[in-house]
Amino acid sequence: MTTSADIQTLETEELISGSEAIARACALADVDVITAYPIRPYDTVMQFVSKLIADGELTCEYIVAESEHSQFEIVKHASAVGARVFTGSSGVGWFYAFEALAVTCGLRLPMVAMVGNRALDDPGAFGCEHNDALAVRDLGWMLNWAATAQECIDTAFLAWRVAEDPRVFLPVAISTDGAFLTHSQQIVKVPDKSLVDRFLPPYDRGKFQLHPDNPITIAPQVNEDWLMEIRRQTDAAMRRARDVIIEAHEDFKSIFGRGGDPFLEEYMTDDADVVLMGMGTLTLPLKVTVRRLRERGHKVGFIRVKWFRPFPTPEIIESLSRFKAVGVIDRDYSLGSPLHGGVLFNEVRSTMYSSDSRVPIIGFVAGLGGREITLRSTREMFEITEKAAEEGTKGQEIHWIGVRE
Amino acid sequence: MSTYAVEVVYRGIFQKRLSGNICRSIVLASRMEGKIGTAFGRYGDSPERNGIPAKYFAVVADDALELEEYLAQYEPTQVDATIVVDDTLCKGVESWAWYGLQPINALTKPGGTVIVTSYQDPEQLKEDIHVKDEPYNLAIVKGSKSFSGLWVYKDDHTDVRVLGALARVVPDMVSLESYQKAILQQWKTEAKVVSSQRSHERVHISPVEPGEGNETEPYSFEMPGWQEMEEALVIPGIAQGGGFRGGEGGFEPVRSAVFKKYSTRTMRPVVNFETCTKCTLCWLQCPDSCFDVTPDGLYDANMEACCGCGVCEDVCPVPNCITMVNEEAFVDNDSQYEHWQKNRDDYMGWLEKKIALGKSERRSHGFHHVGQYQEENAMAEVGSDD
């Protein structure tokens, strides 16, 4: 157990962006291979990785590939030989790597990627949307959304620890809201390497390591006699990831003295009647609105989903069953989906089907393309959700918030 | 509650590091006083490109909760100081997607300050800066525009000179002493501390009264709702155009009513119509089709469409027929050809005066030959001692 005085002397404060925080994590975690291909806003991490290498603070193979597809293929192979890896992309760049993204999970190759969330083209746009990272939600990627630059560095350590755990061996994508996190410099506590070493054991692939001394074949061609069993194995790994995440968060808290609950961050929900929930940096305006509405007597709260895969099903059922209405904010869209709602909305709604509470769930699509989720729009969403609580509707509504009518 | 916000308006790419350094130093210095802050670029719906006006912000608060309260609205609507690191931006900012012209002092709060790095005097700058209903101050840090390229930074002390001035105009946000500690911590050189001190002492501050300044109405543009917009990402074409200024002869293309280039320029071409041979090269080569063809076959650079790249000057085969002149030499966007038509002698005098005032020796920004960095640094140091 580290005392808070210990931690203080073992951490330094820096003014860095979310991207820079993850680059710093790469150096502290002794990453062996980093691959890159520029696309905004992910490319900010490349810039900082290059600087750390140039300054002699990070020694690794740093390969700028000729495309995102190769970028993800290279780290996939590096991971197979037992190298700790880091990579990432944004928007359509992430999609260009899609084949490589899919095969990584089947091969059970851990990697940590940063997705600088960006709208998908066309139209060409730079702003934040979550559809890029969410596109891999069915494949076996673990998906996490960070809210602050501090959480970026902390989550990176957690991500390697969970991904490289032999019970899991699956890739993790850390999503960082483009601009709001990738380009915003905040005061961050950067731990000393000794703390990181205590938390993060070396990556050991054991008998799965591709090495001349350990002759194995990976990535075979199979037919219908095998595939279902292979998928079932990956499914079992994802199911196990849940406990590994909980365990890692507990250890993280005891070593670094911070972190909170692994899956959900709840804000002023104890006596709340109505809550909004969402992912990423929209936390900031929501917390402020919760405080202001509470001053006026509204019993409101906010819940942030930190891990989207594995989806925190028991936590969400337990949490949301306490409320009179829930509004789910999606910084994404899922066109033609049930009720034409967002991805998170439909996942939450499906999760709550097995709950006895039948809490009304309202869907909001907001902040697309990096549009600011303003204090005014958060108030509007609370108003709509409070109304649903009063009327006891079953939440058949989807609202687009902040769109020009 | 005392939260402070500062914006830096800068030329995209050329001054990216400069503006970043200023905002970063503000937050680092505030930390020396136990405050907390954040520094961020406004990266919105438009990419940062060479010379395009862009913004960087720094927000400083007493504690984390106060900072959170402030940042819940991501982009500040009011700032204690607007820092302008290229004085041609005083004409206004079309910052991130051409939604109209934002006066440079639009976010400056009543009683706040606009800090400009410039060799111009307050009266000259006020010809450009739009009028405001509330009083504010105009502070001038004497110096040239500090332009660099994408991969290099011209460390001519503009960053710390701005910080020194900032400590004068917003003293309660961060003290000069804290800035100097942060400067020393980052750059590890006394020289930059001295520069900040000098600038702190020498910054020229003058009040601007309500209604004082450029009275032109900044152009604006109403954005349509989703049901009014054309579907399928289709943008209707613009009609081809017709005669010069609506007349019979010549040719003038119809230009977008909402997409203007007034503030993208740091320099503009002036044309000597007396020596022009009507060779058409400027008209052909201009990447923005900014030249209107006059009825007598001359070419009039239309300031609505010119982005100030200097290609026309490069391709013009007649010596000194087209000259690029620093944008700060101009207060309007009037037609040169019409001026010449009205009074040839007066125009030729005007032309000569403008060229004498601000002929732009360099065709582009950044560094083009070995040793240029040292040369410009030496020049900047001379400037800072003025």
- How many Å apart are CA B10 and CA B207, to the nearest integer? 23
- Contact of B334 with chain A, judged by CB distance below 8 Å, is answered with no
A318-A134-A196 Cα angle (round to 5): 75
Tell me the average pLDDT across B336-341.
Answer: 98
Report whether pLDDT(B167) > 50. Answer: yes
Give the nearest chain A residue to B35 (CA atoms).
A187
User: Which chain A residues have a beta carbon less than 8 Å from that of B224?
Assistant: 404
* pLDDT above 70 coverage of chain B, percent: 91
Tell me the average pLDDT across A279-287.
Answer: 96
Report whether pLDDT(B332) > 60. Answer: yes
One domain, residues A175 and A131: yes
One domain, residues B194 and B315: no
Alpha helices in chain B, H assignment, sequence order: 16-32, 64-71, 122-128, 158-169, 176-187, 190-202, 281-285, 311-315, 336-342, 344-358, 372-384
Q: Helices A43-54 and A18-28 meet at what angle, rounded to 10?
A: 40
What pLDDT is recorded for position A192?
A: 96
What pLDDT is recorded for position A5?
A: 64
What pLDDT is recorded for position B365?
A: 54
Domain assignment of residue B216, yes or no: no
What pLDDT is recorded for position A226?
A: 95
CATH of the domain at B275: 3.30.70
- Contact of A207 with chain B, judged by CB distance below 8 Å, is answered with no
- Contact of A372 with chain B, judged by CB distance below 8 Å, is answered with yes
Of A15, A127, A183, the CB nearest to B28: A15
Report whether pLDDT(B338) > 80. Answer: yes
Poorest-confidence range of A55-59, A359-363, B149-153? B149-153
**What is the C-alpha radius of gyration for chain B, rounded to an integer number of angstroms?**
22
* Number of domains into which chain B is organized: 2
One domain, residues A151 and A206: yes
One domain, residues A203 and A336: no
ipTM of the complex: 0.92
Domain assignment of residue B369, yes or no: no
Q: pLDDT band at A393, cuts 50/70/90? A: confident
Tens digits of residue pLDDT in A133-187? 999 999 999 999 999 999 999 999 999 999 999 999 999 999 999 999 999 999 9
Q: Please say which residue of A212, A230, A256 terminates a domain.
A: A256
What pLDDT is recorded for position A299?
A: 98
Tens digits of residue pLDDT in A333-357? 999 999 999 999 999 999 999 899 8
What pLDDT is recorded for position B42?
A: 76
CATH of the domain at A384: 3.40.50.920
Domain assignment of residue B237, yes or no: no
Tell me the average pLDDT across B242-262.
Answer: 89
Tens digits of residue pLDDT in B58-89? 999 999 999 999 998 878 889 999 999 999 99
Report whether pLDDT(A273) > 50. Answer: yes
B127 to chain A, closest Cα gap in Å: 34
Selected residue with higher pLDDT from B378 and A382: A382
* Number of domains into which chain A is organized: 2
What pLDDT is recorded for position B384?
A: 46
Of B24, B31, B44, the CB nearest to A370: B44
Report whether pLDDT(B12) > 80. Answer: yes
One domain, residues B202 and B333: no
One domain, residues B173 and B318: no
One domain, residues B86 and B192: yes
One domain, residues A162 and A300: no
One domain, residues A172 and A272: no
Domain assignment of residue B162, yes or no: yes
What pLDDT is recorded for position B45?
A: 39
One domain, residues A92 and A115: yes
Residues contacting residue B334 through CB under 8 Å, at least 6 positions apart: B303
Q: pLDDT band at B367, cuts 50/70/90? A: low
What pLDDT is recorded for position B359?
A: 84
Of B41, B72, B224, the CB nearest to A375: B72
- How many Å apart are CA A142 and CA A159, to the nearest integer? 9
Domain assignment of residue B230, yes or no: no
Contact (CB, 8 A) for A312 and A261? no
- How many Å apart are CA B44 and CA A398, to the nearest integer? 26
One domain, residues A52 and A138: yes
Element (H, E) at B81: strand B79-84
- Contact of B211 with chain A, judged by CB distance below 8 Å, is answered with no
Tell me the average pLDDT across B332-355.
Answer: 96
- Contact of B221 with chain A, judged by CB distance below 8 Å, is answered with no
Q: Check residue B217 and report its DSSP letter.
A: P
One domain, residues A234 and A305: no
What pLDDT is recorded for position B30?
A: 97
Give the nearest chain B residue to A119 (CA atoms).
B45
Q: Please say which residue of A256, A273, A298 terminates a domain.
A: A256
One domain, residues B136 and B274: no
Whether the CA torsion B255, B256, B259, B260 is positive or negative: it is positive
- The CA–CA distances, whole Å, from A289 to A129, A320, A377 equal 22, 20, 10
Q: Helices A283-295 and B64-71 meet at what angle, rounded to 10?
A: 100
Determine the 3-state secondary structure of B361 from DSSP: coil
Tens digits of residue pLDDT in B310-329? 889 989 999 999 999 999 89
Domain assignment of residue B371, yes or no: no
Report whether pLDDT(A7) > 90. Answer: no
Tell me the average pLDDT across A14-34.
Answer: 98
Q: pLDDT band at B279, cuts 50/70/90? A: very high
- Contact of A41 with chain B, judged by CB distance below 8 Å, is answered with yes
Report whether pLDDT(B46) > 70. Answer: no
Domain that holds residue B43: 4-208
One domain, residues A215 and A364: no
User: Which chain A residues have a beta carbon less than 8 Å from that of B230?
Assistant: none
B224 to chain A, closest Cα gap in Å: 7
- How many Å apart are CA A319 and CA A355, to the nearest integer? 11
Q: pLDDT band at B277, cuts 50/70/90? A: very high
What pLDDT is recorded for position A2?
A: 57
User: Which chain B residues have a beta carbon less than 8 Å from that of A125?
Assistant: 45
- Do B68 and A405 lie within an 8 Å CB cutoff? no
User: Which chain B residues have a beta carbon less than 8 Å from that of A13?
Assistant: 31
User: Which chain B residues have a beta carbon less than 8 Å from that of A183?
Assistant: 40-41, 43
Contact (CB, 8 A) for B70 and B64? no
One domain, residues B161 and B293: no
One domain, residues A62 and A126: yes
List, as ranges, residues 373-392 from A with C-beta within 8 Å of B: 374-375
Q: pLDDT band at B53, cuts 50/70/90? A: confident
Q: Please say which residue of A192, A223, A256 terminates a domain.
A: A256
Report whether pLDDT(B385) > 50. Answer: no
Q: Helices B176-187 and B16-32 meet at what angle, rounded to 10?
A: 120
Domain that holds residue A360: 264-401
Alpha helices in A167-213, H assignment, sequence order: 193-199
Domain assignment of residue B232, yes or no: no
CATH of the domain at B79: 3.40.920.10
Mutate to test the interface with A, among B38, B52, B67, B70 (most CBs of A within 10 A): B38
One domain, residues B147 and B280: no
A386-A335-A327 Cα angle (round to 5): 15
- Contact of A42 with chain B, judged by CB distance below 8 Å, is answered with no
One domain, residues B135 and B272: no
- Do A405 and B225 lie within an 8 Å CB cutoff? yes
Residues contacting residue B286 through CB under 8 Å, at least 6 positions apart: B306, B311, B312
Report whether pLDDT(B386) > 90. Answer: no
Q: pLDDT band at B98, cuts 50/70/90? A: low
One domain, residues B249 and B183: no
Contact (CB, 8 A) for B43 and A177? no
One domain, residues B186 and B313: no
One domain, residues A73 and A222: yes
One domain, residues B298 and B202: no
One domain, residues B181 and B251: no
What pLDDT is recorded for position A343?
A: 98
Which pair of tokens denotes residue A233?
């194995």
One domain, residues A246 and A269: no
